[in-house]
Amino acid sequence: MALPTKHVLGILVDNLLKRGSVLKLSPRTTVRWAQGLDIPRGGKTVIYTGHMYQLIPAISALATKMAFFENSWITKFFGLGRFANKFINLAWFMAQTDPQETEHYNNILRNITQLLQAAKIDFGYLYEEEMYSGALVHDEGVDDAFEQHAQRVVEVFRRNGVRSVITVDPHTTNMLRSVYPKYCKNYELEVKSYLEVLAESNVEALRPLNLDVTIHDSCVYARYEDVVMEPRQLLTKAGAAIIEPENAGKLTHCCGGPIESFFPGKAQAIAAKRMEQLAATGGNIVAMCPICLVNLKHAAKSMNTDVMDISDYLVEAYCGTDLPGSPHAVHNSDQYNEVVTHG
């Protein structure tokens, strides 16, 4: 028996309206990554995480449980679960996160901050006031709940006098840049992904990346937001040789992530299919979206390979930072600066 879409979606919508996110994290969890970075509070330009990277450890823990439930008798009780969730946040019991995984995803946000600082960009952070964008509820077509939430988010920007936002993931970029204007009157926020901001800056690499890098484009960056050249420019400028897998750029292949909450089995099959294409290139695989990253990482395990966030390599090149556990697996100085097309 499949997971009951009605109740799963019902829980996500209730959470968004009641708790401000489809999966409520404590404020301590969402801002912990910024500890010790001295990012000023607020400001005209802010980095906006939309909680996406912070949500991944909880989503990952929950997805394992949901995949187990997908074919079990427990699905019959999801309606009851939705009722109970109105009063107590069930996610706290369901999603026991792995501290190592939490550290890994928080570190990606620290990478991005360091990169923006290296590019001499002035920005603040909204800390506890920052909210999830509502992307999942929009994609599932629950428009009135989404609109209500979007207006709350916009109010936070107004209250803080924010004029321009630097996003860290494709979904929040798409919501704030292309979707919010359709739902919120007099919306004039300037929205750019950190990859676009870095590509426009004159940040220079401090340490060459003598690596073959296989890019997994995010569907939302490539086909919704036209962010295709920026990651390539930044990696090439740092000395990496780009390998294009089968299905690259505007024709990228989905990671399966968007349907993980409803059809975990189908989502994992898509991730495995994509991971095969990526692994066939033999390069160091990078993703630039937290959802892609967690889904592909999961599929990569059985293939004895791994996927890194693009910022892991960029921070090494542009900030000269040695990352703990940085793979540096396939160095290939012969193909330095050369674009290789595969497939």
Partner 1 sequence: MAVVNTKFIDDISASGSFNAAACMNCGVCTAVCPMGQDLLPRQLFRYAVIGVEEKILEHQETIFSCLMCRMCEQNCPAGVKITENVRTLRGYINRTVFGLSRV
Chain residues binding partner 1 by CB under 8 A are 2, 5-6, 9-10, 13, 17, 138-145, 148, 219, 223-224, 250-251, 253-254, 256, 258-259, 262-263, 266, 270, 273
Nearer to partner 1, 272 or 323 (CB): 272
Distances (CA, A) of 70 to 22, 58, 64, 287, 294: 20, 18, 10, 27, 19
Provide the minimum distance between the beta carbon of 262 and partner 1 in the complex, in angstroms, as a whole number: 6
Provide the minimum distance between the beta carbon of 130 and partner 1 in the complex, in angstroms, as a whole number: 23
Nearer to partner 1, 222 or 317 (CB): 222
Give the count of beta carbons closer than 10 Å to the beta carbon of residue 226.
Answer: 11
Query: Rounded distance, CA 65 to CA 61, Å?
Result: 7
DSSP state, residue 192 = E
- Fill in the amino acid letter for 96: Q
Per-residue exposure over 93-115, b if at least 16 CB sit within 10 Å of its own CB, e if not: eebebeeebbebbbbbbbbbbbb
Distances (CA, A) of 171 to 114, 251, 320: 22, 18, 29
Provide the minimum distance between the beta carbon of 184 and partner 1 in the complex, in angstroms, as a whole number: 17
Provide the minimum distance between the beta carbon of 145 and partner 1 in the complex, in angstroms, as a whole number: 5
Nearer to partner 1, 212 or 260 (CB): 260
Instruction: Name the strand (E) or helix (H) holding 124.
Output: strand 124-125
Query: Rounded distance, CA 99 to CA 200, Å?
Result: 35
Provide the minimum distance between the beta carbon of 151 and partner 1 in the complex, in angstroms, as a whole number: 13
Nearer to partner 1, 53 or 263 (CB): 263
- Edge-to-edge strands of the sheet including 307-309? 307-309, 284-287, 212-215, 241-244, 340-341
Nearer to partner 1, 9 or 286 (CB): 9
Are the C-beta atoms of residues 279 and 285 closer than 8 Å to each other?
Answer: yes
Nearer to partner 1, 36 or 141 (CB): 141
Nearer to partner 1, 46 or 289 (CB): 289
Provide the minimum distance between the beta carbon of 142 and partner 1 in the complex, in angstroms, as a whole number: 5
Provide the minimum distance between the beta carbon of 203 and partner 1 in the complex, in angstroms, as a whole number: 31
Query: Rounded distance, CA 317 to CA 188, Å?
Result: 34
Vertex 145 angle, CA 93 and 293, to 5° = 55
Query: Rounded distance, CA 305 to CA 299, Å?
Result: 9
Q: CA torsion 193→195→200→204, rounded to 10°?
A: 150
Nearer to partner 1, 9 or 22 (CB): 9
Provide the minimum distance between the beta carbon of 258 and partner 1 in the complex, in angstroms, as a whole number: 5
